[in-house]
Amino acid sequence: MEVSVLEVKSAPQALQVQLPGRSVAFLEAEVRPQVNGIILKRSFTEGGDVKQGESLYQIDPSTYKASLQSARADLARAEAALASAKATQARYQELVKTKYISKEEYDKADASYKEALAAVEVAKAAINTATINVNYTEVQAPISGRIGKSSVTAGALVTANQAQPLATIQQLDPINVDIVQSSTQMLRLKSMLKAGKLQASDDAEVTLLLEDGSTYDHKGRLQFAEVSVDQSTGSVTLRAEFPNPDHTLLPGMYVRAILNTGVDPQAILVPQKAISRNPKGEAVAMLVGAENKVEARVIKTADVINHQWRVTDGLRPGDKLIVEGLQKIRPGMPVTAKPMTANQ
């Protein structure tokens, strides 16, 4: 009986893992008013792109402009009082030297001058506050990105730092993907690295599979791993960053991420068709053993790489694995081994 065999060989092999994830906006900002007032107009198109500093809403500024005008008048009054107090203080300073006035009278004049100085500073601060409030009546975009639906229209009354945002802006390019890995899987990987069964990979590149099964055009990079395990799910979150120039990825999309986990320095890969299962569910390989007789050997398999099983136990380099003719053989049967050709 003639069978096709493959000589088992080992070679370094990069290993990958496929994990679930969801896309998350790179930056997200909720737009809220910082002053009270009536919305006069909305300046953006819902669902469109906005730039940082771009005007989004105009709140009625009339009362705030009036407050600013009043603050400027208060400053003018304070400066006039300061000029008078300064002149009095200077005059009394000369008079006290000649003892024409008492030291007590001079001290009162000096205190009045210092109070006038402080009043000017208070008036200037009031102008700054009033100016800030006037500027706040123009609600600007805090970040660049895509803005969603507006929660208010012209004529609506809004309040400073209200709970409901006026709108939300999300930066979509680049975009983040939060990937979930079970803590069990993470511990197993660390154990294999520690035991030397795997070598650490320096490649932090991530490939994405979209919801329709297609591969995303751009590669991402791992940014960080969460420092704690989620108690409700027993998982750790990894974050990757992806270019998103066409806005193909939107926040909340479900994806599958393919990550490089390490390198098996002596990986053994065999064709899937060469491995069968016994009644116990164990993986079994048929080999050409001593005296060219068929030997059935229970093996352990891990993952599938390019349609080949990665074997972690049961096979050694140099073993002759039967690939073709498996249906016609049984353990102990003498066979003639023929090397497997490339097109098999």
Spatial separation of the C-alpha atoms in residues 9 and 317, rounded to whole Å? 5
Tell me: pLDDT of 210 over 60. Answer: yes
Asked whether 189 and 181 are in contact (CB, 8 A), the reply is: no
pLDDT band of residue 95 (cuts 50, 70, 90) is confident
| 291-326 tens-digit pLDDT | 889 899 999 998 888 889 999 898 999 999 989 888
Q: Give pLDDT tens digits for 268-284.
A: 999 999 999 989 999 99
Asked if residue 344 belongs to a domain, the reply is no
Same domain, 188 and 252: yes
- We report the CATH number of the domain holding residue 104 as 1.10.287.470
Model confidence over 147-158: pLDDT tens digits?
A: 999 999 999 999
Report which listed range, 66-70, 256-260, 306-310, 314-318, is most confident.
66-70
Give the number of C-alpha atoms closer than 13 A to the C-alpha of residue 63, restricted to the C-beta side.
Answer: 6
144 burial class (0-12, 13-18, 19+ CB within 10 angstroms)? middle
249: Cβ–Cβ under 8 A, 6 or more apart, which residues?
23, 172, 175, 177, 208, 216, 242, 255
Q: Residue 308, Cα to own-chain centre: how many angstroms?
A: 34
Report the percent of the chain where pLDDT is more than 90: 51
Residue 40 and residue 160 in one domain: yes
pLDDT value at residue 219: 92
Let me know whether 249 and 181 are in one domain: yes
- CATH assignment of the domain containing 231: 2.40.30.170
Domain termination residue (choose one: 217, 245, 264): 264
pLDDT at 200: 59
Other Cβ atoms within 10 Å of 196 Cβ, number:
8
CATH of the domain at 9: 2.40.420.20
> CA quadruple 289, 295, 298, 304: dihedral positive or negative?
positive
Q: Extract the tokens encoding 89.
A: 């203080």
Residues 222, 179: Cα–Cα separation, whole Å: 10
Q: What values do phi and psi take at 250, rounded to 5? A: -120, 150
Q: What is the pTM of this model?
A: 0.70
Note whether 22 and 342 are within 8 A (CB).
no
Residues 247, 304, single domain; the answer is no
Residues 310 and 248 in one domain: no
* Residue-level pLDDT at 243: 94
Please check the confidence at residue 203 and state whether its pLDDT lies above 70.
Answer: no
Tell whether 177 and 227 lie within a shared domain: yes
Residue 284 lies in a domain: yes
Radius of gyration in angstroms for the set of CA atoms belonging to the chain, rounded to a whole number: 38
- 89 falls within a domain: yes
Percent pLDDT > 70 in the chain is 94
Torsion angle (degrees, nearest 10) of CA 171, 175, 177, 178: -40
Q: Take residue 244 and report the two structure tokens written for it.
A: 């998103």
User: Is 273 found in the same domain as 248?
Assistant: no
Torsional class of 80: left (φ above 0), alpha (ψ -120 to 50), beta (otherwise): alpha
pLDDT of 39 over the 60 cut: yes
**334 located within any domain:** yes
Which CATH number do you get for residue 143?
Answer: 2.40.50.100
Number of domains the chain is built from? 4
Answer yes or no: do 226 and 246 share one domain: yes
- Please give the C-alpha separations between residue 132 and each of 43, 138, 338, in angstroms, as whole numbers: 21, 10, 87
Domain that holds residue 282: 2-13+266-339
pLDDT in tens, 164-189: 999 999 999 999 999 888 777 667 66
pLDDT at residue 195 is higher than 70:
no
pLDDT confidence of residue 242: 94
> Which of 264, 296, 324 is the last residue before a domain boundary?
264
Cα atoms in the 13 Å half-sphere on the side-chain side of 301: 22
Task: Write the DSSP assignment of 201-246 as a string of letters.
Answer: ----EEEEE-TTSPBPSS-EEEEEE-SS-BTTTTEEEEEEEE--TT
> 340 with 4: CB under 8 angstroms?
yes
Residue that has been written with the tokens 């945002």 in this structure? 165
Query: 221 with 322, same domain?
Result: no
Note whether 206 and 219 are within 8 A (CB).
yes
Q: Are residues 146 and 47 in the same domain?
A: yes
Query: Could you tell me if 178 and 188 lie in one domain?
Result: yes
pLDDT at 99: 82
User: Strand pairing of 37-42 and 145-147?
Assistant: unpaired
CB 256 within 8 A of CB 212: no
Are 132 and 194 members of one domain?
no
Last residue of a domain, one of 264, 294, 329: 264
